[in-house]
Amino acid sequence: MRMVGIALVASTAVLGFQARSDLETTVSEQGKKIAALKHRLDTLEASRPGAPGTAEATLSARATALESELKKLDARVREVETKISYLSKGEQKKQEQEQSGGRLRFGMTMDEVRRIVGEPKRQSTHVSAEGRRLDFWFYDGFDMTFVNGRFTDYSERK
């Protein structure tokens, strides 16, 4: 009976070792399956629409960048248009001054005088008893008089 007991113990040990070995093999195989499933999940996640690295995400990012660049260009166009408008007005004033010789002449309109001399510091308008409109423009150091909208007098102040 002793022999049977030793054989039984030895057989149990062998079976235990075998079971442990089978268990380790099963765990290892399950680990490989889990790793494969994780890889597949990562692949599916990466291929979903809008995921980083997909064509859709790349196009979306590019569209956002282009919209930003378009806004910058639009602002620059408005800035250039403003400068062109300002330069056009300056060029127009320069041509008018060249046409008038850049000098004041009696009989010029108020607009013509304003283009040459600029805006007065102060203005005053009166209507005479005869119904003539008198405009007085005051600058630093001189005054100008207009009768019915035409330049008629210039006087310097000290």
**What distance in Å separates the CA atoms of residue 10 and residue 65, rounded to the nearest whole number?**
75
Domain ranges of the chain: 1-47, 54-99, 106-156
Q: Model's pTM, two decimal places? A: 0.38
One digit per residue, the tens of pLDDT, for the chain of length 158 reads: 555 555 555 555 555 556 566 667 776 777 777 777 777 777 777 766 666 666 777 788 888 888 888 888 788 878 777 777 766 665 665 665 556 566 889 999 999 999 999 999 999 999 999 999 999 999 998 999 999 999 999 998 87
- Residues paired with residue 126 on neighbouring β-strands, in sequence order: 134
Contact yes or no for 115/108 (Cβ under 8 A): no
Backbone angles phi, psi at 149, to 5 degrees: 85, 5
